[in-house]
Structure 1
Amino acid sequence: MKKFVYFVFTFVFIFSTLGFSKGHYFNYKANGKNVKAMLPLEVEFSQKRILKTGKKTHIRFSQTYHGIEVFGGELIKHYNGKNLESVNGIIFENINVGTVPVLSNYDATKIVVQDLNNPEYKIRNTKLVIFPKNDVYYLAYKVDSFKFDSNMIYFVDAETGTILFKYENVKEGKPSWVGGGSSTTLTDVTGTGIGVNGETYSDLHVVFDGSSYQMINRTRGAEIKTYKAVGRSLPGNIVTDDDNYWTDSAAVCAHKYLEDVYDFYYTLYGRKSYDDMDSAMIATVHYGTNYVNAYWNGQQMVFGDGDGVQATYLSGALDVVAHELSHAVTDYTSDLIYSNESGALNEAFSDIMGTCVEFYFQPEGFGLLKADYWMGEDIWYPNEPFGDALRYLDDPTKAGDPCHYDQRYTGTQDNGGVHINSTIVSHWFYLIAHGGTNPYSGIKVDGMGLDKARDLVFNAFTNYMPADADFSVARQVTLQTAAEMYGENSTEYNIVQTGWDAVGVY
């Protein structure tokens, strides 16, 4: 299966390294050409999602084979008004596999349940897909299983029952079952709360039900609700208070910061909540015991309290809250597959957006409640051997993470290095935004400024990035985006290119 990139008449060879497949990345300007004329005749597509940003419309299509989805295959059309400007994506060619399964849906489910060996898991969905692995195509069942803190995705050979691949799809910050509402009349009020680092918020939007105050914010298009965990069930119980002076600092920060993240995406990009449909934004705090993590489980955000040694309440850092909500944005845009390099791109986007939200609301500097290029520093204790932050975009090596592709992790832990290798990409962002020199390659990059870099990354990752992208594809996608936003061979285009050179991604 050969791989090549179309640039109208210029061909560049790039290989996707999802770990279980090799697709063909393409990108070309439409120039009035018929899309099918530029692609192999046998390739089929089915529309799956429409994204609109201003005058631009981006339509994503899943590749299909005799009506069955080809996992990782995708085409994205980009319109300016009614005019088709460009098309990019990843396709798989020369598929020749039977489409009638030997095993039933039920058979595949039983195989997954046996492998999970945990009664807490439930099966959410099972469907047939074409699954590429090691240059071979398989008819497989994609089985979606979940429990309160896990979302395991399986691919089961529909002929033999072999488990071809599996991965964890819960997006963690580190290596709809929302409870029913009340018929009581609610009044919107403003309260005062104390944050994790002792800060005071006098504009906490909550509701009053006549007897107590509840952490429900109805002042935005989407409701923002903050819950307190009860055991391992989610979301738990809505956080309440008797006098509207809130001292549950973990809940205060989660509630306030979710409002900030909503405002960031809406003000800058017109995005209404994570799905652009103003769905409720749900957070649960006080999850687990000594739990040093936070995650997005596909339906809500969950924050642990830390262990008091490595970290404190995870919701106490604006960039951490923004990181988790940005995973939700990814789920409803590029839907980057959470494994290997595409998963690292998923994590990098969340770190980048988390950093940008921090710079949008907090003054630049070092210390508590200041904007910088460190992740989670407001809740991470300066206690060796843990360091002062979870990750460092300016110098990932401070936490032992790679800053260059030569240093990348190639093992199977961490879903193939989704957190570890994310710093290669987030460091690229630091270089193109702030400017600097990569400590491994010695290549110097002149920054274009945070605002330009932020807008470029948001546009590239939400509108142009295929779900099966690897780092080389990300380079091509961001260059394509820079060319469309600022012009090919513009200063910004050249900065993006030099930035990728600096981190060793070609």
Structure 2
Amino acid sequence: MLAAAFSAHGAGAQMMGQPITTLTPQQSGTLLTRLAAMDAAQGLPPELSVRLASQHPGAAGQKIVRTQHTYKGLRIFGSESVVVTDTVGSVVGITTTDRRVGPGNSLAPLAVAPTVPAISAADAIRIAANSVAPRGTDRWPPSAELLIFPIARSVRVPAAQSKQEIELNAADLQEVIERYALAYYVKTRMAQDNKPVYYDTIVDANTGAILAQWPALKTVVGSGNSQYNGVVPINTSAVAGGFQMLDTTRGKGGRYGGMAITNANHSSADNPDPGSIYTNSSNTWGDGKQYVNGGSTTSANGQTAAVNALWGLMNTYDANRNALGWHSLDGNNTATYIAAHVDTSYDNAFYDDSCKCMYIGDGSHFNSLGAIDVIGHEMSHGVTAATADLVYAAESGGLNESNSDIGGEMVEAYARAGGTGNLIPASGNDWMMGTEISKTGQPLRWMYRPSKDGSSPDAWSSSLKFLDVHYSSGPNNRMFYFLAQGSKADPASDFYSKFLTRTPAAMHGIGSDKAYRIWFKALTTKFTSTTGYADARTKVLEAAQELYGANSKEAIAVQRAYAAINVGADVDETGASDGGGQQSMERIVNGGFEDGITGWNGNTATIGSDPAQAAFEGTRYARMGGQGRTTNQTLTQSVSIPAGATRAVLSFATHIETEEVHAVAYDQLTVTFKDSAGKVVRTLARYSNKDATAGYQIRSFDVLAQKGKTLTLSFAMHEDSSKPTYFVIDKVSLLAE
């Protein structure tokens, strides 16, 4: 659906467009007329309309126009469309979250009458403020928007009615609107007890009851001598008597006319003053050491936090601009700033959307919170706010936090590789958030295994929406890790998922660059404010298909990565087409045995079918053993792994059934690679009667170490003198690329 490929990244990869000029009033009017006509064609009454909300770049040559659905001029909360247009406003495509349909397919006009509130906006603000900070003072002026609030619940799709709760997949639930309420959407940005208290609250406009509430503060609990990165180049500006931390080459406008680092100089976190831009008589900054409490914030030691911040801000800007084509936080190249040394011994860093800026504390239990992944994390909240604006609660809030963790890790990878080039490097980041700021060495979050923190789940469940957003982000973090890096087949591994049931058991990743490109496109051009896990899967898959092809390995990887966290069904990787990288080739001939003995040598009489034994796929398999007497059988095939391979994975399905009653390995199946002289080069696995199972098990092995070799793959079965054991083999595959 979206346009031209960017050749430097291979087929299908795209850059986001340059900062845009917003639609003219005439173009906006024409677009709204077209959208109204589309709604009318669906039978929607004129009381239901749309209004323009925001505009930002899409792919090259396109704009994203976000619209809100309205009823009698009032916004319907969470009901939105993301409209892709060309440069003159013609509609190219639309993604919609439609919350205009209520119980029994009734529409909002039938459910809300009248639309005149019983309480005032000031009353709603007072109710919201008292509920979160009764002694608080306003950090930013509060606001109250009168709107229509859909009250929804999750119901099971028909096919999932009989499932146990623990068996539910995210795709088994759908949202149903129970009723609509006339309500105020209240935003309070307050301070109380020496800390910011930012909340969004939905207040019933007739009764004053609080219908919903969630926190709105996005946090993580010259040359410059950086604390975490050694001596780093930082862009500064010359001023009378020296230099200042103002980078005018990155971003325009904003409060300071460029990307700036300021000295909050311990101003209180409940109402922080960003202070003035850092200045220095020379263009060498910082001492690379943790700030000493009570010391000067402008000395070399005090400057180090500012060096950390500027290095992080520069790399966040460059990673998104150079790799994705996205300029600054909003895509339109508006400059931002970071204020260092907020409060005293403050163990936090936060992004404040009211100023579109970031504040960094010096830490007490933590080191200075200006590590590269923390900066990337917080600045990514600004990208979310400028695009999908994911509601910071329930599943959408988890995705909001996850996007920031993803952004932090990708910025870290980019910076560690030198901060240049138009690709996100495949390595360099640690896939853990906040390791460097931790004085114990324990990170805040593990993306590859979120449950290691003791609070975050590894996979979706129906209770996910009730968790704090820093924990409900966990499954999507794991999804992104698997999408980029792949998984492992060993159940004891931190990189294993029990939800991957297809072939191979260990899914292949597509690399950080492609993974980030797909995710970023979905976030900025498809997600709406209430997107949850199931909807995210659909839209991330669409992004992958548009970038790399409908049946590309990238699209297959998205499906598998989400399946790995219990969102949607798993799929086989075999048959995926190449979407811009080297083709993954099958090196096994007749791995499913459907062509009889073709390709196989040895005891080929073991190949066949039997109504008493189901195949893993198709009708045939190799069934070795089962004689109940001393027997040796072997099946072999010659295989070659190219010398230039970057990935090689052997996999097969096994079903083991036995009549042995003792826990002794009497009967065995050994899987090996042998050289041309018959010498074992590698023993891949040994299975025995002790491994008997009720069904098939997928086995998977990384065999890249054998690249450049032609070897014999051998399945060798030995059965002792009594009690039969059947070793059934099917779906043998060796994928190399």
Shorter-chain TM range is: 0.7 to 0.9
The residue that corresponds to 1:181 in the other structure is none
In the other structure, the counterpart of 1:304 is 361
Number of the residue aligned with 1:216: 246
Compute the displacement of 1:326 (Å). Answer: 0.6
1:123 aligns with 2:141: yes
Distance 1:330 1:198 in 2: 27
Is the counterpart of residue 75 in structure 1 residue 81 in structure 2? Answer: yes
Q: Deviations over 1:171-230 (max 9, x none)?
A: 1123xxxxxxxxxxxxxxxx22211136112x3222333234322222223311112224
- Of 35-44 and 226-235, more deviation after overlay is shown by 35-44
What is the percent sequence identity of the aligned residues? 30
- Give the alignment partner of residue 393 of structure 1, picking from 438, 441, 447: 447
Distance across 1 between alignment mates of 2:83 and 2:340: 40
Residue in structure 1 matching 2:214, options 167, 192, 207: 167
Aligned to 1:480: 542
Gaps of 5+ in 1: 1-31, 175-190
Q: Is 2:438 the partner of 1:380?
A: yes
Note if contact 1:323-1:353 (Cα within 8 Å) is conserved in structure 2: yes
The question of 1:360 aligning with 2:418 is answered no
Kept in 1, the 8 Å contact 2:228–2:308? The answer is no
Task: Give the distance between the partners of 1:357 and 1:141, measured in 2 at CA.
Answer: 38
- Measure how far apart 1:372 and its partner are: 2.4
Q: Which residue of 1 aligns with 2:44?
A: 41
**Which one-letter code corresponds to 1:295 in the other structure?**
F
Quote how far apart the aligned CAs of 1:440 are.
4.2
Q: How far apart are the structure 2 equivalents of 1:144 and 1:76?
A: 24
Give the Cα–Cα distance (whole angstroms) in 1 for the partners of residues 323 and 129 of structure 2.
44
The C-alpha deviation readout for 1:49-90, integer Å capped at 9, x for no partner, is 223230233221101111100111101223466764432221
Alignment of 1:130-209 (within 5 A): 130-134=148-152, 135-147=178-190, 149-174=196-221, 191-197=222-228, 199-201=230-232, 203-209=233-239
Find the counterpart in structure 2 of residue 15 from structure 1.
none
Structure 2 letter corresponding to 1:74: E
Q: In structure 2, how many angstroms separate the alpha carbons of the residues matched to 1:39 and 1:372?
A: 49
**Residue in 1 that maps onto 2:560:** 498
Amino acid at match of 1:118: R
- Cα displacement (A) at 1:409: 4.4
Structure 1 pair 80/410, CA: closer, same or farther in 2 (3 Å)? closer
Counterpart Cα distance in 2 of 1:318 and 1:129: 39
Deviation at 1:485, TM superposition (A): 1.4
1:259 paired with 2:314, answer yes
Q: Secondary structure at the match of 1:342?
A: helix
Question: When the two structures are aligned, how many residues end up with a matched partner?
Answer: 443
1:26-105 mapped onto 2 (5 Å cutoff):
35-36=38-39, 39=42, 41-42=44-45, 43-52=48-57, 53-79=59-85, 84-92=91-99, 93=101, 94-95=107-108, 96-97=111-112, 98-105=114-121
**Mean alpha-carbon deviation: is it higher for 131-140 or for 108-117?**
108-117
Partner of 2:473: 422
Q: Secondary structure at the match of 1:356?
A: helix
Residues 407 and 152 of structure 1: CA distance in aligned 2, closer, same or farther (over 3 Å) = closer
Q: Secondary structure at the match of 1:460?
A: helix
Amino acid at match of 1:50: Q
Q: Which amino acid aligns with 1:493?
A: A
Query: Taking structure 1 as reference, are residues 370 and 487 closer, same or farther at Cα in structure 2, changes over 3 Å only?
Result: closer
Extract unaligned runs of 5+ from structure 2: 1-34, 102-106, 153-177, 253-257, 287-302, 419-426, 489-494, 501-505, 569-737
Distance 1:40 1:169, change over 3 A: farther
Alignment partner of 1:459 out of 508, 521, 534: 521
Contact 2:406 2:477 in 1 (8 A): yes
Call closer, same or farther: CA 1:398–1:107 in 2, change over 3 Å.
closer
Measured against aligned partners, the alpha-carbon deviations of 1:340-376 in whole angstroms (never above 9, x if no partner) come to 1101101111111111111222149xxxx94221222
- Asked whether the 8 Å contact 2:394–2:464 carries over to 1, the reply is no
TM-score of the two chains, using structure 1 as the length reference = 0.82
Decide which moves more: 157-166 or 36-45: 36-45
Alpha carbons of structure 1 residues 133 and 101: separation in structure 2 relative to 1, 3 Å: same
Which residue of 320, 325, 347 maps to 2:401? 347
Which residue type is aligned with residue 488 of structure 1? Answer: A
Whether the 8 Å contact between 1:445 and 1:502 is mirrored in structure 2 is no
- The aligned residue for residue 231 of structure 1 is 267
Question: What is the alpha-carbon distance in structure 1 between the residues aligned to residue 428 and residue 540 of structure 2?
Answer: 29
Residues 109 and 83 of structure 1: CA distance in aligned 2, closer, same or farther (over 3 Å): closer
Instruction: Output the amino acid matched with 2:278.
Output: V
Larger Rg: 2
Q: Does 1:404 find its partner at 2:422? A: no
Structure 1 equivalent of residue 369 of structure 2? 314
Going from structure 1 to structure 2, the CA distance change for 1:198 and 1:264 (only over 3 Å counts) comes to closer
Cα distance 1:356–1:36, how it changes in 2: closer, same or farther (>3 A)? same
Question: CA separation in 1, counterparts of 2:190 and 2:546?
Answer: 42
Tell me if 1:329 matches 2:383: yes
Q: Distance in 1 between matches of 2:136 and 2:90?
A: 52
- Amino acid in the other structure paired with 1:76: V
Q: 1:408 to 1:160 in 2, by over 3 A?
A: closer
1:390: how far off?
1.6
User: Structure 1 253/158 Cα, relative in aligned 2: closer, same or farther at 3 Å?
Assistant: same
The 1:161/1:293 distance shift into structure 2, 3 A limit, reads same
Equivalents in 2 of 1:113, 1:399: separation in Å? Answer: 33
Q: Structure 1 pair 150/282, CA: closer, same or farther in 2 (3 Å)?
A: farther
Moved over 4 A (4+): 37-40, 80-83, 407-410
Residue 234 of structure 1: how far off its partner (Å): 2.4
- One-letter identity of the residue aligned with 1:292: D
- Secondary structure at the residue paired with 2:182? strand
CA-to-aligned-CA distance 1:411-430 (integer Å, 9 cap, x gap): 4xxxx421101120011011
Alignment of 1:263-278 (within 5 A): 263-278=318-333
Equivalent in the alignment of 1:187: none
* Alpha-carbon separation, structure 1, partners of 2:70 and 2:90: 25
Distance 1:379 1:471, change over 3 A: same
Q: What is the DSSP-based 3-state SS (H/G/I as helix, E as strand, rest coil) of the residue aligned with 1:289?
A: coil
TM-aligned CA deviation for residue 33 of structure 1? 13
Q: Who is 2:576 aligned against? A: none
Q: CA deviation at 1:388?
A: 2.8
CA distance in 1, matches of 2:546, 2:519: 13
Contact 2:499 2:566 in 1 (8 A): no
User: Measured at CA, do residues 128 and 372 of structure 1 come closer, stay the same or move farther in structure 2, by a change above 3 Å?
Assistant: same
One-letter code aligned to 1:231: S
CA distance in structure 1 between the aligned counterparts of 2:36 and 2:124, rounded to whole angstroms: 43
Mapped partners of 2:525, 2:229: distance in 1:
39
Deviation at 1:160, TM superposition (A): 1.4
> Does the 8 A contact of 1:408 with 1:421 survive in 2?
no
- Point out which structure has higher relative CO (alpha carbons under 8 A, 6+ apart): 1
Q: Distance in 1 between matches of 2:42 and 2:549?
A: 26
TM-score normalised to structure 2 length: 0.57
Q: Aligned-pair distance for 1:407?
A: 9.2
Q: Distance in 1 between matches of 2:284 and 2:550?
A: 54
Counterpart of 1:158 in structure 2: which amino acid? Answer: A
Partner of 1:244: 283
CA contact under 8 A between 2:56 and 2:330: conserved in structure 1? no
CA distance in 2, matches of 1:66, 1:45: 10
Q: Which residue does the alignment assign to 1:280?
A: 335
- Cα shift at 1:159: 1.1
